[in-house]
Amino acid sequence: MVYRQVVRRALFRLHGGDAERVHETTLGVLARLSPLAKVSAAVRHPSLERTVFGVRFPNPVGLAAGLDKDGRALPAWPALGFGFVEVGTVTRHPQPGNPRPRLYRLRASEAIINRMGFNNEGAQELANRLERLGGLSVPLGISLGKSKVTPVERAVEDYRASLRALHRHGDYFAINISSPNTPGLRGLQDRAALTELLSALNEEMAALGARKPLLVKIAPDLTDAAIGELLQVCAEHRVDGLIATNTTLSREGLAPADRALAEQAGGLSGRPLAARAREVVRFVSRETAGKLPIIGVGGIAGPDDAKRMLDAGASLLQVYTGFIYEGPGLVRRINKSLIP
């Protein structure tokens, strides 16, 4: 309540309400507070621990990719209670992303529209930062994407180069082929393109001498038939898990007060995505007989949302937009609710 009524209100007014500048300021503060990370708010209980795709997680609530793309505040996230952190999406080449403004809060809907465009400092700079950090107290996932300057027909080498640069630092790697904000990217979800990409990344893993779990992040806008075909490719190419879902191009479920902002281009996240994200998780779990681990993400804004996502078949959870609207206490509330 303190966060929602005082802190959030102040943050949303900061910088004249410029959402991206507020985001950058908050990350900067968290980065400076990182030395205090030993003062942890994490909820610890044996029932929260789980091993998924061979990785041990102290609790199932993770930070989704996109909030700390370049890993600037990494030590702070475990201190806030997260059981794992996913950085990125990172690309082979540094890139500024799409023109600003590109991040919008839809407050009445507790949603966000973004068209960031994978703005990041590049895979090598992230590798350098992780090298200096020397490790994290919770598992680290790294989301890989295609550089905008790289033609789609050369995307495979782009992903391979990023994997080579970051391989030793990640506990798992997420292949982002589902963001709506990079031209042509979602085409990589098609059978032929995905087959080529996964074959190349498995080959790269073998050359690097140590296989790390490989996950595919999918769009909520795919039909069941398209998801089914994608799952066949994943089964054929030793994919260790799925992240469901990315942001959506749909504008269903928005409050009337947010209709004007709904015209903005970009991917929508937050409460309006919750039902569709659960549908996709449920479909994937059913189609794979529960054998393919799923990280459920989309519209998780409280303990009830988290439980519904787990009941749908998710093994782990990620939050982003819910964290923006509910604050750091969200992670603690979810974890406490999961203790029998």
DSSP state of 98: S
Tokens of 87: 């950085």
- Round the average pLDDT of the chain to a whole number and report it: 92
Mean pLDDT of 222-237: 92
- Separation in Å, CA 234 to CA 56, 133, 246: 22, 33, 17
The tokens for 101 are: 């403004």
One-letter amino acid for residue 335 of the chain? N
Residue 49 dihedral angles phi and psi, to the nearest 5°: -75, 145
Angle in degrees, CA 315, 318, 319, rounded to 5: 150
* Residue in the structure block whose two tokens are 């199932």: 60
Residue 31 has a pLDDT of 85
pLDDT in tens, 191-210: 888 899 999 999 999 999 99
Domain containing residue 318: 2-337
Catalytic residue among 178, 179, 269, 315: 179
pLDDT in tens, 81-135: 999 999 999 999 999 999 999 999 999 999 999 999 999 999 999 999 999 999 8
Handedness of CA 277, 283, 287, 290 (dihedral sign): positive
Burial class from Cβ neighbours inside 10 Å (0-12, 13-18, 19+) for residue 186 reads: buried
State the angle between helix axes of 155-166 and 191-208 in degrees (0 to 180), rounded to the nearest 10: 30
For residue 216, what are its two tokens? 């595919």
pTM for the full predicted model? 0.94
> What local confidence, expressed as pLDDT, does residue 217 receive?
96
User: How would residue 5 be classed by pLDDT, with cut points 50, 70 and 90?
Assistant: low
Residue 191: what pLDDT?
A: 83
CA dihedral 138, 87, 93, 130 (to 10 degrees): -30
Structure tokens at 147: 């550089």
CATH number of the domain that 140 lies in?
A: 3.20.20.70
Q: In what order do the strands lie in the sheet with 103-106?
A: 103-106, 111-114, 267-270
Q: What is the DSSP string of 276-325?
A: HHHHHHHHHHHHTTT-S-EEEESS--SHHHHHHHHHHT-SEEEESHHHHH
Mean pLDDT of the 263-285 span: 97
Q: 48 and 83 in contact (C-beta within 8 Å)?
A: yes
Number of Cβ within a 10 Å radius of residue 87: 30
* C-alpha dihedral sign at 275, 184, 319, 106: negative
| Residue 315 among the catalytic residues | no
- Which tokens go with 166? 């970051």
% of the chain at pLDDT higher than 90: 79
Confidence of residue 77 (pLDDT cuts 50, 70, 90): very high
Residue 196 — φ and ψ, nearest 5°?
-60, -45
Question: Which tokens belong to 14?
Answer: 């900061």
* CA gap 296, 315 in Å, rounded: 7
118: left (phi over 0), alpha (psi -120 to 50) or beta: left
Higher pLDDT, 23 or 55: 55
Q: Total structural domains in the chain? A: 1
Q: Vertex 233, ends 198 and 92: CA angle to 5°?
A: 25
